[in-house]
Amino acid sequence: MHSLSCLYKLLSSTKNTFSSSPFSSASAFLILCFLVSNSIKHLHCPDGPVYLLSYFICAGKSDDLSIENCNGKSGLVVCFGEMLIDFVPTVGGVSLSEAPAFKKAPGGAPANVAVGISRLGGSSAFIGKVGADEFGYMLADILKQNNVETSGIKFDLNARTALAFVTLRADGEREFLFFRNPSADMFLQESDLDENLIKKAKIFHYGSISLIDEPCQSAHLAALKIAKESGCILSYDPNLRLALWPSAEAARNGIRSIWDQADVIKISEDEITFLTGGDDPYDDNVVLEKLFHPNLKLLIVTEGSEGCRYYTKEFRGRVDGVKVKAVDTTGAGDAFVSGIIYNLASDQSLLQNEERLREALHFANVCGAITVTERGAIPALPTKEAVLQFAAT
């Protein structure tokens, strides 16, 4: 009955729209049929998302398609945290000191995810702070160019935009050198938060770097509280950068301090070893006993090119990776996160449907694989068309 009610609202909403449209009512009806046919797949599952589509056709204006579920929440993903400039070597397999030159690229894990979701066709926004400098303005413009909502970005007059030099050495180890002591992202305050933007989100995504320093730590915790109380799905990618923390113990405690609040967590093998004090990251018992908390809906362990493992209360398994020739692994994990969150924002039933979850994780694996074939994070993030084309080959 809930599904029928939503469909009834959809049909009713077109009554006045068609009468004022420059299109014929027959044309408008065909458009409606197309929209319903593309969303009807969601109506068969009583527990899954049911979409209410309202198609407004106004004379002299561009078409506007609004997609939301029946509880009024859109598929918006709000990403919170740092945005910075990555400098990556123009050649691969060298240390930072050996690099002949560097190419600048926009980055920062939460910003990468926001762009990744938008590139895939989803709706995303970013909340964070950058310097009132050329790099900060450039980063904000890049988000706008990628259709990411930027009303949550603040500019700091007294601190610079963060910089990071990153490379994948010939021995396979990643090397980082950060310039953020301090940087603008560290000065985000609770008063800077766009509460209304957070409340609109279906998913609130964040990392751990914003927990390192005040006042950003307090802003992060306040944003989490707003998101939780608003019914958002909380998505957490710790994204360990040990060099930024005062100590390993501080990093471990900081990352775990908000662990139990998350609904979805993505973590790497190295992060498992770090957080558990050296335990085997491939041991399911370690993952379930030490990392899976009672309120968690989905825990994902990424294994690079080998794929990923997934754990829910009902099932667990593994999805093989996609083999490609890697040029730069920067942003691969963020592309993966973009892929899974993009799917989750439009279809929460995948948390209960293992087949659907596996499809979404394969999609995410392909997102990550495509990203490593180019240099830089944001420049390499794929479109949905690129992912589907790659998956079909």
What is the per-residue pLDDT across 87-143, written as a single tens digit (0 to 9) for each? 989 888 888 999 999 999 899 999 999 999 999 999 999 999 999 999 999 999 999
Residue 65 predicted with pLDDT over 80: no
What is the per-residue pLDDT across 365-376, written as a single tens digit (0 to 9) for each? 999 999 999 887
Residue 178 predicted with pLDDT over 70: yes
Residue 45 predicted with pLDDT over 70: no
Least confident span in 67-81, 126-140, 152-166, 254-268: 67-81
What is the per-residue pLDDT for 66?
Answer: 30
Residue 286 predicted with pLDDT over 80: yes
What is the per-residue pLDDT across 160-172, written as a single tens digit (0 to 9) for each? 999 999 887 876 6
What does the pLDDT average to over 139-150? 98
The pTM assigned to this predicted structure is: 0.81
Confidence label for 336 from pLDDT (cuts 50, 70 and 90):
very high
| Angle between helix 354-371 and 332-346 (nearest 10) | 150
Residue 32 predicted with pLDDT over 80: no
What is the per-residue pLDDT for 360?
Answer: 97
Amino acid at 235: S
Q: Return phi, psi of residue 79, to 5°.
A: -105, 130
Cα distances (angstroms) measured from residue 369 to each of 176, 206, 324, 387 = 21, 22, 6, 9
Residue 182 predicted with pLDDT over 70: yes
What is the per-residue pLDDT for 10?
Answer: 42
Confidence label for 175 from pLDDT (cuts 50, 70 and 90):
confident
Confidence label for 330 from pLDDT (cuts 50, 70 and 90):
confident
